[in-house]
Amino acid sequence: MKTPMLAIVAAVLAFSPLAQAQSSGHNHASHASPAASAEVAQGTGVLKNIDAAAGVVNITHDPIPALKWPAMTMGLKVRDKKLLEDFKPGQTVKFGLAKEPTEYVITSLTVVKK
């Protein structure tokens, strides 16, 4: 009874590092191009809503000339949900934007005024 279980566990342990290496290699090949991930613009705005679980903020931002964006209130994803720790609605923030394949995402976030 015990031996087959151990054999299965050993097989899983033996194969999982390989599987992880393959999948992370694939992700890097398909997503990490410097041109697609570099910060391309900076903006300032007021946080209206923060969905830390989804990694999305609703923000009323000033015009962003680099992107030809007028002032507006919009939803933006953050690249890393950890960026949203310690932020609250109503704060004025500076943020950096990078162009991902299908949309702009926030890559940095700092409080200007609480």
Tell me, what amino acid is at 88?
K
According to DSSP, the residues that pair with 108 across neighbouring strands are: 96
Q: Binding to Cu ion by residue 19, rule CB under 5 A? A: no
Q: Binding to Cu ion by residue 74, rule CB under 5 A? A: yes
Q: How far is the CB of 73 from Cu ion (least distance, A)?
A: 8
Q: How far is the CB of 61 from Cu ion (least distance, A)?
A: 6
Q: How far is the CB of 75 from Cu ion (least distance, A)?
A: 9
Dihedral (CA of 79, 30, 103, 100) sign: positive
Is 76:90 a contact under the CB 8 Å cutoff? no
User: Residue from 72, 75, 82, 86 that binds Cu ion (CB under 5 A)?
Assistant: 72
What's the Cα-to-Cα distance from 89 to each of 45, 59, 66, 111, rounded to whole Å? 11, 9, 25, 11
**Residue span binding Cu ion (CB under 5 A) among the ranges 26-34, 50-58, 72-80, 106-114:** 72-80
Counting every residue written for the chain, the total comes to 114
Of all residues in the shown chain, the one whose CB is closest to Cu ion is 74
Q: Binding to Cu ion by residue 111, rule CB under 5 A? A: no
Closest CA to 62 of 42, 88, 33, 35: 42
Q: How far is the CB of 113 from Cu ion (least distance, A)?
A: 20
**Which residues are near Cu ion by CB under 5 A?**
69, 72, 74
